[in-house]
Amino acid sequence: MKVAIIGGGQLGRMLGEAAHPLGVEVRFLDPGHAPCAATAGPVTQAAFDDPAALAELAAWADVVTYEFENVPVHAVSGLATPVYPPPQALEAAQDRLREKRFFQDAGVPVAPFAPVSTAEELSAAILTLGLPAILKTRRMGYDGKGQFVVNDAEQGRGAWRALGEVPCILEAVVPFDRELSILSARSATGEVRCWPLVVNRHAGGILQWSEAPAEVSPELQQRAEDTARRALEALDYVGVLAIELFDLAGHLYANEMAPRVHNSGHWSIEGSITSQFENHLRAVLGLPLGDTAMASAAGMLNLLGTEPPLAELLAVPGARVHRYGKSPRPGRKLGHVTVLGRDLPEVRARLGALRRVMHDATHGDP
């Protein structure tokens, strides 16, 4: 079995690592000279929309998948080899307005929003939604990029100019209690599996750490799984899908979705019986999906911008270190560390120890 992966970042690398024990061959397409996924398989260096390179890679593979959601839809829509997740999932996720309307059509609650294409539409949206609100570009925003919090009309006009006066949406701020994510997988045969809900902590729009399983009622878990299933079925989806959710007093609002393996599921490599990466491969190849039950309570910390000494990370009990081989840069995801524990209190204590190590590496010892 052969899987072509568009994108050579850390998600591609971890997909490749999950493929090896299954005897699945992988190849990557990436414009970078030495992407970190090169340790997991051969890389064709070409643009993501290079027709000849894509055709050659697709001809080699049994299925084509991707590791990020900004793959040009037109580039994969005409390939003869099956592409999973399907191009309609890319279309829905690449445009925030289309994404919000998709959730609404699927019966999934979202925060109030309004499209903004002109300064006049921005003023009208502010009057309709009220402030504070968040102005977001409709396309190409991730990890906190392409968005500004708007607290007054003047700030809104400044944000509009700073974003380049491109098509945007204005979204009401949800005073949520916590951020959750539901990860699910649907195979080419229609089989569906969901992982337990995950609690996430963001700062500056970037995921800092996660805990699994979230402490939720069975009813809330079921509602989240129902949300995932509605989205999967509406898109005729194949692969892993992540949906970020706001939890407000037990009411769930969809924030956004990622049609791929996701940062908030990295804990599953050690913490779940079957990781998100293995189940994504199983799904796109039409293989039976693996058990998504917890193997252990788990937490995950991103290594952002700098990497603490390996020995200090490994000194934290239950730590499992994943380094991506990237050069340091502010805010860049250089790796992650998973911690396992007997229960969530132990996981939280170990995550706290990891955060102190990360703080010392970033700011220096006090």
Bridge-based pairing state of the strands 25-30 and 43-45? parallel
Strands 239-248 and 319-323, sheet pairing: unpaired
Backbone angles phi and psi of 78, in degrees to 5? -100, 5
Contact of 96 with 138, CB cutoff 8 Å: yes
Per-residue DSSP letters for 173-223? PP--SEEEEEEEEE-TTS-EEEPPPEEEEEETTEEEEEEES----HHHHHH
Backbone phi and psi for residue 42, each to the nearest 5 degrees, phi listed first? -60, 145
CA distance 21 to 349: 32
For tokens 């102190």, name the residue.
Answer: 356
146, 163 Cβ separation under 8 angstroms = yes
pLDDT at position 363 is 83
Helices (H) and strands (E) in the chain, counts: 12, 17
**What is the spatial distance between Cα 230 and Cα 10, in angstroms, rounded to a whole number?**
29
Q: Which helix (H) or strand (E) holds 5?
A: strand 2-6
pTM above 0.85, yes or no: yes
Burial of 343 (0-12, 13-18, 19+ CB in 10 A): exposed
Q: Give the helix/strand (H/E) hosting 44.
A: strand 43-45
The full set of domains in the chain, from first to last, is 2-83 (3.40.50.20), 112-172 (3.30.1490.20), 178-363 (3.30.470.20)
Tokens matching residue 235: 């898109």
- pLDDT tens track of the chain, all 366 residues? 999 999 999 999 999 999 999 999 999 999 999 899 999 999 999 999 999 999 999 999 999 999 998 899 999 998 999 999 999 999 999 999 999 999 999 999 999 999 999 999 999 999 999 999 999 999 876 656 789 999 999 999 999 999 999 999 999 999 999 999 999 999 999 999 999 999 999 998 899 999 999 999 999 999 999 999 999 999 999 999 999 999 999 999 999 999 999 999 999 999 999 999 999 999 999 999 999 999 999 999 999 999 999 999 999 999 999 999 999 999 899 999 999 999 999 999 999 999 999 999 988 654
3-state secondary structure of 328: coil
- For residues 253 and 174, the answer to whether their CB atoms sit within 8 Å is yes
Helix (H) or strand (E) holding 169: strand 168-172
Residue with tokens 């049609």: 259
pLDDT at 144: 61
